[in-house]
Structure 1
Amino acid sequence: MGRDAEYRHWPEDVRKDLELSWEFMLDPRNYGRYESWQYTVHTLYEDHVAHAVQLEC
């Protein structure tokens, strides 16, 4: 599995761990009022995005 491998082809247990980490990262209940987290992804395509919201600061 290379860095550019599509995650859909990864073993199911690895995919589930990855997807759960995204859910945790994207859940606003996991952030404190003045806390900020930064994440990066190697590549993000439009069809990978299931839902998006604009956050107001």
Structure 2
Amino acid sequence: MMIEKIEETQAQIVRLQNHVQMLQSTFADWGELPDSEPTGESICCLIESWTEEQK
């Protein structure tokens, strides 16, 4: 039982580390973009690009 909990915790740590890396990368990318008001198109593009990166 304890080994299962350790493995589960290790897997969760890996998922969280991957998530933090994605957030840091996104934040860096956004820092290079000009400030602007979001539009429906820009939001759709953002969602699509994020979805593609997750594959």
Taking structure 1 as the reference length, the TM-score comes to: 0.34
Q: Which has the higher contact order (CA 8 A, sep 6+)?
A: 1
Structure index of larger Rg: 2
